[in-house]
Amino acid sequence: MSKEEVGITVTKNEDFSEWYTQVVLKAKLADYAPVKGLIVLRPDGYSIWESLRSTFDSKFSKNGIRNGFLPILIPESLLGKEQKHFAGFNPEVFWVTHSGTNEVGDRLALRPTSETLAYTLYSKWIQSWRDLPLKINFWNTALRAEIKATKPFLRTSEFLWQEGHTVHTTQEEAEKEVMKILEIYKNTVEEELAIPVITGKKSEKEKFVGAVYTTTMESIMPDGKALQMGTSHFLGQNFSKPFEVKFADKDNVEHFAWQTSWGVSWRLIGAMIMVHGDDKGLVLPPKVAPTQVVIVPIYKNDEGKEKVFEKVQEIKSNLELQEIRIHVDDREGLSPGFKFNDWELKGVPLRIEIGPKDIEKESIVIAKRHTREKSSLNFSKIEKIPSILDEIQDEMFKSAKIQSMQNTIEIADYSDFKSKIEKGGFINSPWCGKLECEEKIKEETGADIRLIPFDSENSDKKCIYCQQQSVSVPIFARGY
């Protein structure tokens, strides 16, 4: 892709992968780093992440969760304490073996996830029931060797995420925490990013290594592939026992604690790009858009410019008082048409156009990015712009919901399943619960069990693969 190319040069339907990459780069959300598998987050991309972080922090705080910080290096000896858990990450781990020219001795892993480090510390911090529940969230980077099939935000060797780790006195309390977090994730993604999600449990095969069970939220992308949007794990005592996370109860009797862990990453930004973007580029939901409204002044001479900018400043001040994130495009030497296309590429939800003729009519022209519809708005109704942004947010969610429903089908016949999976989408099919059927379906079709929706237990149907009695109706799909 040459520097001379302006705008998106492929359509979303003809080459989804190339379209996605062009949107990420040309909308200036991120760029490639000099090291393969790494990306650089540019200010607009980071602003979206900050918006999500702010929302999560507010909701976490209301749930008694506080933020902490963990270092990035983990001694190999700690990772080995929970062998099954670490074995799942071992192929992806980056290792530090030298400090300068000297060997470090115990190899140091660049954090793939933080359970082992956090729980070594938790065992020191927790003595009695008075120290519980302990709820800490960490805004970290994680590093996992994704060298071959990398894609910005979706699969990179280093990524931004949050990971929460909580400790409880009872199993019941820990399991309630798992579900509280999943609900926070679901509400935030749907309300802030306007992306519908489905929640449920992972199968035993697909659960987080070391967890008793994993709850998840999944979305279907426009190309028919599924994307895991976040997970919340019930760890039981699987980590508290090897790491000796114990507490003395009110009778001074010692018990192993019950634990949870959970996280989302910047792949949420990737999902937002894929779900809402179009052939013109990025389409941003107003709640997370770094710039919610852009004003493009239109004039031909200095006299017209002065008159227009006087009104532009008045509108800008009015909207800033309503806490709208607004920008005035006063760049010289660029035509209004070029500016319109540039802001459409960047996905700004609402554009205001104003020139001398508009001032005479006492109105502005507003252009909605998600529909590209234009209309006039009287000066006296400028106060309506915040509610127009709310309408855009709602319309984007409804549109994404329809798209998701159109990409979801129910199939009970395996030959039909194999045919339909080639087109992608979520497929609801009965399953007997046996690992061998799950593995055969994956081997023959490339489709995983993405999740088993809550309350999807079913004993009236036959397994899609072996025709034995089904126990549930999972959602199958090929995924990112």
**What H or E segment, with its residue span, contains residue 238?**
none
In this structure, the strands spanning 226-236 and 293-297 are unpaired
Instruction: Give the 3-state DSSP-derived string for 308-369, with helices as H, strands as E and coil as C.
Output: HHHHHHHHHHHHHHCCCCEEECCCCCCCHHHHHHHHHHHCCCEEEEECHHHHHHCEEEEEEC
Token pair of 467, please?
A: 């025709």
Residues 306 and 272 in one domain: no
Residues with Cβ within 8 Å of 429's Cβ and at least 6 positions away in sequence, in order, are: 410, 411, 412, 417, 464, 473, 474, 476
CA–CA distance, 284 with 346 (Å, rounded to integer)? 8
Number of H helices, E strands in the chain: 13, 23
Identify the CATH number of the domain in which residue 344 sits: 3.40.50.800
Instruction: Establish if 287 belongs to a structural domain.
Output: no
- Vertex 137, ends 134 and 143: CA angle to 5°? 130
Residues 83 and 225 in one domain: yes
Identify the CATH number of the domain in which residue 453 sits: 3.30.110.30
Token pair of 317, please?
A: 């001040």
The answer to whether the beta carbons of residues 55 and 88 sit under 8 Å apart is no
Residues 259 and 310 in one domain: no
Residues 214 and 254 in one domain: yes
Residues 299 and 268 in one domain: no
Q: Could you list the residue range(s) of the whole structural domain that residue 421 is in?
A: 408-477
Which regions in the chain score pLDDT beneath 70? 1-5, 82-89, 147-148
Residues 218 and 322 in one domain: no
**What H or E segment, with its residue span, contains residue 214?**
strand 213-220
Residues 83 and 180 in one domain: yes
Residues 133 and 238 in one domain: yes
Q: How far is C-alpha 449 from the chain's CA centre? A: 20
Instruction: Establish if 354 belongs to a structural domain.
Output: yes
Instruction: Establish if 283 belongs to a structural domain.
Output: no
283 SS3 class = coil
Residues 425 and 379 in one domain: no
| Total domains, the chain | 3
43 SS3 class = helix
Instruction: Establish if 152 belongs to a structural domain.
Output: yes
Instruction: Establish if 174 belongs to a structural domain.
Output: yes
CA–CA distance, 37 with 151 (Å, rounded to integer)? 8
pLDDT in the model for residue 202: 98
Residues 32 and 103 in one domain: yes
